[in-house]
Structures are given as C-alpha cells and as structure tokens.
Amino acid sequence: MNLKVSTEAAKWYKEELDIKDTTQLRFFVRYGGVGGKIPGFSLGLKLDKPQSTHASTEVENITFYIEEADAWYFEESNLEVHLDEQRNEPIMEYV
C-alpha cells in the first residue's frame, strides 16, 4: 500500500494542529464516522509515535503513517490525501 499526502494538505494539517516542528501524525481506523472505505468505520488522525509502520510518507516535515494494526482497512488500496480548496479541508481518497 502507498500513502500520499499533498503539500497543500500537509500545510493545512500544520496550520490546524499548530505544528511548529518535525512530528508524526498517525491515520488510524475508528468505529463510526462518515466517508470511510468500509461502512461503519472512518479514519482518525492523531499525534503519535510509530510502533510498527505499515506505510508512511514525509511532507512538510511531518511523517504521516499507518500502523500494521490498521492495514486491514486499506485492503488492496492506497490512501491519497488532497486539499479541497473550496471547502478548505482534506479529502481522503482510496485508490
């Protein structure tokens, strides 16, 4: 699986989360929410330290990553995160 985060989306996260230094942001599977790949689940995001990384990418001094424990959710797809400029919020696409 590949994880891609656009520069614009990374900058949005930096601003929204008030990130000043190099850091790690984890995409994790959570129960509930809307817009997920599997009905009843969605992705959350939190500041965390990697334990067993499944996929990662570094953009704007932020390491975005997904843990092995959440790999099942992406089953044969990649995650691409872009910024919706009209809504000024990230969009997650499973490709």
Residues sharing a CB contact under 8 Å with residue 16, sequence separation 6 or more, in sequence order? none
CATH number at residue 30: 2.60.300.12
Residue 5 pLDDT > 80, yes or no? yes
Q: What is the count of structural domains for the chain?
A: 1
Total-model pTM: 0.90
Check residue 47 and give its pLDDT.
92
Residues spanned by the domain of 50:
3-94
* ∠ Cα 46 2 59 (to 5°): 55
The pLDDT of residue 90 is 94
pLDDT tens digits, one per residue of 27-83: 999 877 666 777 668 899 999 999 999 999 999 999 999 999 999 998 889 999 999
The CA–CA distances, whole Å, from 37 to 44, 47, 75, 78 equal 13, 22, 10, 11
Q: What are phi and psi of 48, to 5 degrees?
A: -160, 170
> What's the confidence (pLDDT) of residue 70?
94
Q: How confident is the model at residue 20 (pLDDT cuts 50, 70, 90)?
A: confident
